[in-house]
Structure 1
Amino acid sequence: MTSVAETTRSSRPLLRTLLTGRHSGWTAPLVIWLGSRIVSTALLVTMFVVATENGWDFASYRRDPSFATFSGSWDASFYRTIAEHGYPRTLPTDGDGNVLPNPWAFLPVFPALVRAVMAVTGGSFWVAGVVVATLAGAGACVLLYRLVLAVGCSHRARWATALFAFGPTGFLLQVAYAESTVLLLLFGGLLALVRRRYWLVAVLGTVAAFTKPGVLALAVALAVHLVVRWVAWVRAGRDAGGFPWRERVAIVGAGLVVAAAGLAWPVVAGAVTGRSDAYLATELSWWVGFVGRPHFTPMTPWFLMAGRWLGPIGIVLVVAVLAGAVWFFRRRDVRALGPEVVGFAGAYALYLVAVFLPQQSLPRLLMPMAPLLGSDVFVRTRRRAVTWLLVGVGLQPVAVVLLWFLGFP
């Protein structure tokens, strides 16, 4: 009879081959993804069983509190409304005329994909939503791996993917949210940019723009790429073969297309509802419970939130966080990830500071910056990488309880 130890020893060469072998560009990220899904599913199932057995209120009310509906809590209900009924032509308001939370805050690509799966399979939104999100999460892991591999090495690619998939918000890669779908598109767009497939960047960026906000960062990455190539071309003596016109036109064209797509949704919302500020008013309706109804001014939300809840100490804290971010982006090992990755991540961070009110949704909104996990800060040595991995796995059950059960992420 084969012992457990012998079985373990015999499986190690296979795992090593999957992670480092000839086809590891596919197998390594998929093995990492599969392992992370086992962990995340176990955590979500445990939470579901504990809540059910103890009669706890679920994160968001469901008439049929199954595991599938539990995996579609919070914002998933808005995606369900969009998938089944579309967008309202009139914004809901309270007695004072203030806009209430409504589906216009959520973009159409994810619910459209879910609706297509529902039509093909006959399944419910909750099951179809989990299927779409989980498959997109697998694709996101593959493209993140290949992106970091393209700008780094296999060591960095494997560990960045593992830290991403097993991290505190890793469970969101399989719930009925648009996160995994937009990550698939953004990582694919960055990889296409690194490989100089500019029109593919335009296509993926356009679809991403109608999946989640924040795609303007990809347009900035294109601009950074253009400047870097232009400077390199000038330093090389303006060799026409080094930077042909067709590539210059493709970069500029892709950037304009992505930028236009990134700015389109507020225009669409205004045209359909007849109210020019429909999207902004809808987004601000989620701020009420935190800071009331302030006038929106870019670059102030973090200071507004910190000052309201922590006073002067909060302002100092925000300044310290921003200073830490500047220090991080100036590190040589971070810049070594390439101008495209750093340009995108820096622009995306600036977008969050400019327009987002920092609250419990912040951890999931940081997920597009996952390529930075390939820097020395996280994976310089195996020991450091393992430490960060254990921290991520340890924080994931905390995040499941706090974000998925007690407060919406």
Structure 2
Amino acid sequence: MSPEGKKLLNIVILGFGFMFMFTAFQTCGNIEQTVIKSFNSTEFHGSGYTSMAIIYGVFSASNLIAPSVVTVIGPQLSMFFSGLLYSGYIAMFIYPYTWSFYTASVFVGIGAAVLWTAQGNVLAINSTDNTIGRNSGIFWALLQFSLFFGNLYIYCAWHGHDHITDKDRQTVFISLTVISLVGCFLFFLIRKPDPEPAPAEAAESLLQAESTESSSTASFCLPLFTCKMFGTNEMMLLSISIGYTGLELTFYSGVYGTCIGAMTQFGKDAKSLIGISGICIGIGEILGGGVFGMLNKCNRFGRNPVVLLGLITHFVAFYLIFLNIASDAPIAPEAGTDLQAYITPNLGVALLCSFLLGLGDSCFNTQLLSIIGFLFRDNSAPAFAVFKFIQSIMAALAFFYSNYLLLHWQLLILVVTGFLGSMTFFMAEGLAESTRRESDYDSI
């Protein structure tokens, strides 16, 4: 097999490994609050929202040490051991205890930072300037397919169940643990790419590039350098947009599925509809990621129209959710809520909103990845670490307040933050356009 073929195979294996792992983990996060409400044991007093707040809070802080871990033990072992932490978190639900639940949440937060840092490293060393877009698209598509399979399994497993029994829970989480472990062991199939033959001058350039990357990684490990990255005008503008993606990540991945499962007016299949909602979110993510990822190649109109489309899409979804879902649904007890919002609850509208949430999320994320990669191409590692830091901090905050706030207050926070984030993104895009024109002038 040619060196290019080996690199492409590594990307495919990476994508399948993440697909298996996040088929299990994203499904777990989507249903855990509903599952926790159904526990028959009075000894368990945990909250799924609090757990996810811990995960994202620790994830954010652990971004400072993750590059050092990946450098010491390598990306392959980093992904494997991080995957084991994910599997342990999922397995904890088979026989849950409050102390093990929150302890596992801390370890998953650490593992998440290492996992995503290693993933970026594997993607980079198996790509060139000409193939990075293609490889990122392949990885994104395979990762988002995880939303299909896990949620389809939940729908089939819980169809017709108005209460989740201990046996139902154990069957589901044993299966999810096995699926996650399969993803962990797939990482061992990734092989170090063969060095391409190069003349002396090219080899010297390669060594210089590696030295630059090592320097960037070392700098990233210093909190001082991270704070300096925070202080740039571009990152300060983008921070509100990034923070918004963290808030809406919490909403579509944990809160909205819980709301659908709590609506008794959707009938006895309401719990299984959480899986269908996740599938609709996945369709929106894959469609948006594929279309808007390809649009970056012909960036004729810039990134602003895509972000504006994402904002409008989310605003439509939020308004329909406000009309369709009862305000106490996020914090309703296991029996659900009998309250009605402003219209008779409609399942079709609820699933349409799931699709719109996924589509809008892909609009924001594809354009944020694009503009950060452009503005900070000389310091991409710390820039993307700051991106994950801000996003995970805001996700942790959102999971925390989801324990207490009614649905309409959560939607109001999303609307205000989304509007401000879009405005500041437009300003950052203006800076990017100025940088592009200066680069074109210098080259002339």
TM range (shorter): under 0.3
The structure in which a higher percent of residues are helix is 2
Q: TM-score, normalised by structure 2?
A: 0.25
Structure with the larger RCO, 1 or 2 (CA within 8 Å, 6+ apart): 2
Q: TM-score, normalised by structure 1?
A: 0.27
